[in-house]
Chains A and B, each alone.
Chain A
Amino acid sequence: MLRSAARQDWLPHAIVWLGIAVTAFPLYLAFVASTLTPQEIAQAPMPVLPGSQGPANYGAALFEGTTMRLSPPVISMMWNSLLMALVITFGKIAVSIVSAYAVVFFRFPGRMFFFWCIFITLMLPVEVRIMPTYEVVSDLKLINTFAGLTVPLIASATATLLFRQFFLTIPDEYVEAAKIDGAGPLRFFRDVVLPLSRTNIAALFVILFIYGWNQYLWPLLMATDKNLDTIVIGIKKMIGTGDALTEWHLVMATTVLAVLPPALVVILMQRWFVKGLVETEK
């Protein structure tokens, strides 16, 4: 692009920096609050620079939780979140990649019907079937179990569509070559399709990990047992109802801990993240 004058260059930078300031401010404030004493936070306005209580606050949040025991120690909630996120992520990737493989590389009666069945789930998010899904899970005796928390979320129309889209670009010659070499469909899947799908799997991993880690409505319905609390649910419980009683220094330390894992995944895997976002929305 032609630039009319070099002196105009400062304006875009200034606007982006303003945007970053607004974007980052809530996070910065949470970080500052997580390093202050409750008294320092309570005196409005609270200091704008970090204090010295950081290690103490994070230690207390991680290993003890709030004093009123509204939620378990954060370390156990982070463990639940991590486990849930990973099971959902790999579960979705696994069931989707094999479904897409079946739909693309085989001819069988009902093929398109089954594909549409999977596709239609796009239009049935948890939010529109809250009560009946709760009843199904409760009939299956899965309330307050880890299986109830994860298995119902392990179906993914977007992941299946993405893999199908990609599988259609694998040349027919590969399949022919495999057949001539006497490789069966499972062998072909393991030795050819799976290695070729690496970048797609990485892209989906980022998107789905964030999806899994950030689940809210589902655990809220399924898991009333404290031992199954995820960190996102835990923060809500820590705020409780009584405003004056909220231990904001611990809540903010927990918030920072809740944001860190998905934020790191996005930052460190940025290339796959962008690919994943753009491809799954096609």
Chain B
Amino acid sequence: MDRKVYFNNKALPYLLLAPQLAVTAVFFFWPAGQALFMSVLQQDPFGARVVFVGLENFAALIAEPDYLAAMWRTAWFSLAVTLLAMVPALLLAVMADRVARWATFYKTTLIVPYAIAPAVAGVLWLFMFNPAIGSVAWVMKSLGVDWNPTLNGTHAMWLVILASAWKQIAYNFLFFLAGLQSIPRSLLEAASIDGASEARKFWTVVFPLLSPTTFFLLVVNLVYAFFDTFGVVHAVTGGGPAKATEILVYKVYYDGVHALDLGSSSAQSVILMAIVIGLTFVQFRFIERKVHY
């Protein structure tokens, strides 16, 4: 990983690193440090005194039914988004991989949603499912479903899940397609000669060979569902109705910016940091393994 030949300047490398390190120190490390620091402090309501409270903020958080509810909600939201974004993507990739004609057109069309901001994706779905004017909502009402995401928490949750998953299918599709195209054709031909059906070929040859891609996407999609869906929730439901769609990232934002509860918001930030670090660690562990194989 190191070069044998290099330049000998003393000051130049520091100069080259300076801009990025400055941004990193001021806007990443200092605030992250502050979050850690504030998470063990508590301010009295008048802001006059700050006392060290140790892990009290965390204890309070874990004892708070709202926070536990948000945690479970996030878990099931992330799982639903991940599944709904990965399964259709895999199906589409397998099908797109089989066709020769139109292949480029299919690929181009299917990757477009990647370019759409989560908040904008949310607005598109909000429009379709708007109980008063939405076309899909109209179809559902004609079928006898009393659809109303502005009042019904379950409906609202489904709406943010669908919008979030829809946007992410494009990304998964691309990676699955790349994974499929790297499978040696000879293996598939051998299976065909042995008389394996399409389904059997998929489950015994293709799917196992895709498992590194699948695992990688699993982690990426969980990270996406945990953090990048903030825009969807903020634009579509604002965490409502009655906190039914308040996932952890939204709660950190709300408790910090609107409720101004800095101690709790910082403690929540620290918990989220631990989650990101955990997921990143899992991802890199896996990449090391992939290199060895």
Contacts and interface: CB of A to CB of B under 8 A. Distances in A.
B63 to A, nearest CB: 22
Contacts of B91: 15, 19
- The B contact surface, by secondary structure, is helix
Interface residues of B, number: 106
Interface stretch (B23-31, B47-55, B65-73, B75-83): B23-31
A175 B6 contact: yes
Given A24-B109, A263-B112, A46 B135 contact: yes
A64 to B, nearest CB: 20
Contacts of A33: 127
A69 interface: no
A23 B110 contact: yes
B247 to A, nearest CB: 11
A4 B216 CA distance: 32
Contacts of A155: 20, 23-24, 27-28
Interface string A5-33: 00001011101100110111111011001
- Which of B88, B110, B269 counts the most A-chain CB atoms under 10 A from its CB? B269
Given A129-B35, A168-B1, A216 B117 contact: yes
Contact of B95 (A16, A133, A220, A265): A16
A55 to B, nearest CB: 21
B40 interface: no
Contacts of B185: 1
A135 interface: yes
B235 interface: yes
B262 A131 contact: yes
A258 interface: yes
A192 interface: no
Contacts of A114: 17, 21
A145 B94 CA distance: 47
Interface string B12-48: 1110110111011111111111110010000000000
Contact of B256 (A4, A131, A232, A236): A131
Nearest to B114: A266
A98 B128 contact: no
B61 interface: no
Contact of B227 (A45, A125, A172, A213): A125
Interface of A: 1-2, 4, 9, 11-13, 15-16, 19-20, 22-27, 29-30, 33, 41-42, 44-46, 48, 94-96, 98-99, 101-108, 111, 114, 117-118, 121-125, 127-137, 140, 151-152, 154-156, 160, 168, 172, 175-176, 179, 184-186, 188, 210, 213-214, 216-217, 220-221, 232-233, 235-236, 239, 243-244, 248, 251-252, 255, 258-259, 262-263, 265-267, 270, 273-274, 277-278, 281-282
Given A104-B3, A235-B235, A243-B150, 4 more contacts: A122-B280, A129-B28, A216-B235, A255-B123
